[in-house]
Structure 1
Amino acid sequence: MTIRVALVGLGVAAKSIWLPQLAHHPAFELTAVVDPDHTAGAGLEARLLVGTGIDVLTPSEVDLAVVAAPNHLHCELACALLAKGIPVFVEKPVCLSTAEADRLREAERHGDTVLLGGSAARYRADVRALYELSGRLGRIRHVDLGWIRAGGVPGGWFTRRGMSGGGALIDLGWHLLDTASPLLGGSAIAQAAGTLSADFLDDERRRVTWRVDLGGADLGDVEDTARGFLVTEDGVSVSLRAGWASHEPVDTTTIRVEGSAGVATLSCTFGFSTERAGGPVLTHLRDGKTVPIAVPPEPIGAEYRRQLDLIPAQLTDPACRGRAIQDAAWTVEAIERCYASAAAYV
């Protein structure tokens, strides 16, 4: 059975990821698009139901709504769609605060349907290999997370706090923390500290170059770099660095998992940047010996297709209800607490 999908929001994520992914996936049929800009749907197929608001969407015509609007609208739109009884997939960040996470949890329950969250990095082949290797590390003691771009400050609403909810921490940090969450077993955060900086934010040389629709000369009021340190109630420490720009020559993502029986390190590049560190490298360090672990190659963006592959089963599995918001609540609490800590130094 084909899943009829409504795409809510026709911005960067929708046009670069979800429109092409949905068009080429046999399990889905795009039947409706919604965007407050009535011209946003220009050039799309005439058969599509096009509207400027979600009032045009009903459960009888839509099996799934994909919310890819600006961040500050995610919770509002998802709650309204869930109230209609329409299952919802929300692009990251699923929510911008723990208060919004609570609202989404209640909306999912009252709507008697399911909320799914954007967490594409978990579905990368190299990250899945890291998860498998981490199962052989004994008790996890520390996780080091880093995604540092050489230059990739986005423009538009991304750098306006009122619409984005924050800068590099909510943008890149969400992916990093969401990826680390399964390694930590959902253990609550006991302590958090964070710092923010914006040394590159208004430097035109540091703007995004691989997507013109992310550029622009708007001055922002968010951080371009965030550093954080967390300790879970189980005593696991987590260090985090997320940067839209830096003095590095290329963009690099690093996840290092230290356990009682060894260390796993993944070096790769998340996202779509053209300034990449090269193919992923996964290693296992134990007793002074480093062993490379083979990682299957995959094209950039394959994780989004892999996430779509799982959605049909998730829509019919009662066990999936509440799972996405539980993960999102942990991630946004970590981000929220890092922002609160950093505010003391502003």
Structure 2
Amino acid sequence: MSVRVAVVGLGWAGRELWLPRLREHPAFDVVAVVDPSPASRAAHEQDEGRAGVRGGACGAHPAVLADVDELDRRSVDLAVVAVPNHLHAEVAVALLQRGIPVFVEKPVCLNSAEAEKLAQAEADGGAVLLAGSASRYRGDIGVLLDLVPSLGTVRHVELAWTRARGVPKSGGWFTSRSQAGGGVLLDLGWHLLDILDAVLGPVPMVQVSGTVSDDFVNDPSWGAAWRQDGPQAELRGDVEDTARGFLVSERGTSVALRASWASHAARDLTLVRVEGSAGTATLRCVFGFSPNREPVPTLTLTREGRTEDIALPAEPIGVEYGRQLDDLPRLLDDPAHRGRAVSDIRRNIRITERFYESALTLGTASPEPSPLLPLGMS
């Protein structure tokens, strides 16, 4: 039996990322879409009509709604929350309290207070919270993770996602601190912290230091031309476009972290390097959808001065999102998964808060705190 899904939010993520994949996936039946904007709902209905898209059960088109309160718990098995960042927790809490399971795009929330509200709503409503972690479903990441046990004791992890020109269109919510909560650290950095969890496991960080900068965010020439964000107001962005940090776990493992929406590099790059007592594995690839990338990812293993190439599966850009959908029905049916996402969220959002606190202390972050975030997440 298909999982009946409501997609909440008709921005880029809902429209371009999730709706097409959910429609094509045999395990899901899109029964509703929700967006408060009349223009977004009208544009969606126009697109559906032109494309002749299959909709909900028995071939009917999905219901087009203005508010999540209009969703009927009896006819929805899962809500995919793809709204702007500052609404993630609010929308997810409202749905969870009504007993509707939710899948929330990253960042799931913006601060520890929101994480606790999500935890309480999941417990009270009895529905499960699932968090986006598509990067874990990449084939190259899977091969890297299989290598980690052979590296001995992990001593250092380097994680970087650096775009050449990839700033989201300025003037939109992505570069507005009051709506995004932060910049590239919450956007690309969340993916890197998720991979760090996969490499090290749920290990607390006892030291977090970070700096942020905004050299590119308000220069349109550094924008992400491949993203169809739509027209935006001419407003200045007030978030960071680059974050650089250093973490130390309670086991003494060090972590170097960098996330950049723009840089002087020729191509985008995601780097994951794991250094262990018995060897070093280095993955060079590109997360996400940017076409400005090397043709194929590479993975090398170095031991005692010798480096060998490790074979990686060939796969199309974005396949990890489909694989994540493959896994959602299992996670929905697994009672043991309840509370697991919240545990990961608490850990990662606390790292993010401490990173921003460090940047503020060092004078590299704006001294004007956002009303959405605790002191230091500004």
Q: TM-score range by the shorter chain?
A: over 0.9
Residues 269 and 278, structure 1, Cα contact 8 Å, conserved in 2: no
Deviation at 1:101, TM superposition (A): 1.2
Deviation at 1:136, TM superposition (A): 1.0
Q: Report 1:170-181 matches (<5 A).
A: 170-181=186-197
Q: Separation in 2 of the partners of 1:300 and 1:207? A: 20
Q: Separation in 2 of the partners of 1:288 and 1:265? A: 14
**CA deviation string 1:101-145 (max 9, x = no partner):** 111111111111110000101111001111001121111111100
Q: Separation in 1 of the partners of 2:235 and 2:15? A: 21
Deviation at 1:277, TM superposition (A): 2.5
Q: Report 1:91-130 matches (<5 A).
A: 91-130=105-144
- Aligned residue number for residue 198 of structure 1: 214
SS at match of 2:39: coil
Deviation at 1:47, TM superposition (A): 2.5
- Aligned residue number for residue 286 of structure 1: 303
Residues 144 and 283, structure 2, Cα contact 8 Å, conserved in 1: yes
Q: Separation in 2 of the partners of 1:114 and 1:212? A: 32
Residues 154 and 277, structure 2, Cα contact 8 Å, conserved in 1: yes
- Unaligned stretches of 5+ residues in structure 1: none
- Aligned residue number for residue 262 of structure 1: 279
Deviation at 1:214, TM superposition (A): 6.0
- Aligned residue number for residue 72 of structure 2: 58
Identical amino acids, percent of aligned pairs = 55
Q: Separation in 2 of the partners of 1:38 and 1:180? A: 40
Residues 70 and 164, structure 1, Cα contact 8 Å, conserved in 2: yes
Using the size of structure 2 for normalisation, the TM-score is 0.89
- Aligned residue number for residue 312 of structure 1: 329
- Unaligned stretches of 5+ residues in structure 2: 49-54, 365-378
Where does structure 1 differ by over 6 angstroms across 4 or more consecutive aligned residues? none
Q: Separation in 1 of the partners of 2:218 and 2:8? A: 30
Q: Report 1:86-165 matches (<5 A).
A: 86-155=100-169, 156-165=172-181
Cα pair distance change 1:137/1:239, threshold 3 Å? same
Residues 153 and 224, structure 1, Cα contact 8 Å, conserved in 2: yes
Match status 1:80 vs 2:94: yes
Which residue of 271, 291, 299 maps to 1:274?
A: 291
Q: Separation in 1 of the partners of 2:74 and 2:164? A: 47
Q: Separation in 2 of the partners of 1:98 and 1:234? A: 24
Using the size of structure 1 for normalisation, the TM-score is 0.98
- Aligned residue number for residue 34 of structure 1: 34
Which residue of 180, 185, 202 maps to 1:169?
A: 185
Deviation at 1:58, TM superposition (A): 2.1
SS at match of 2:36: coil
- Aligned residue number for residue 234 of structure 1: 251
- Aligned residue number for residue 211 of structure 1: 227
Q: Separation in 1 of the partners of 2:358 and 2:181? A: 16
Residues 12 and 228, structure 2, Cα contact 8 Å, conserved in 1: no
Across the aligned residues of Structure 1 and Structure 2, the Cα RMSD in angstroms comes to 1.2
Q: Separation in 1 of the partners of 2:235 and 2:27? A: 39
Q: Separation in 2 of the partners of 1:165 and 1:277? A: 31
Q: Report 1:10-21 matches (<5 A).
A: 10-21=10-21
Deviation at 1:195, TM superposition (A): 0.2
Q: Separation in 2 of the partners of 1:342 and 1:223? A: 11
Q: Report 1:326-341 matches (<5 A).
A: 326-341=343-358
Q: Separation in 2 of the partners of 1:185 and 1:179? A: 9
Q: Separation in 1 of the partners of 2:224 and 2:108? A: 23
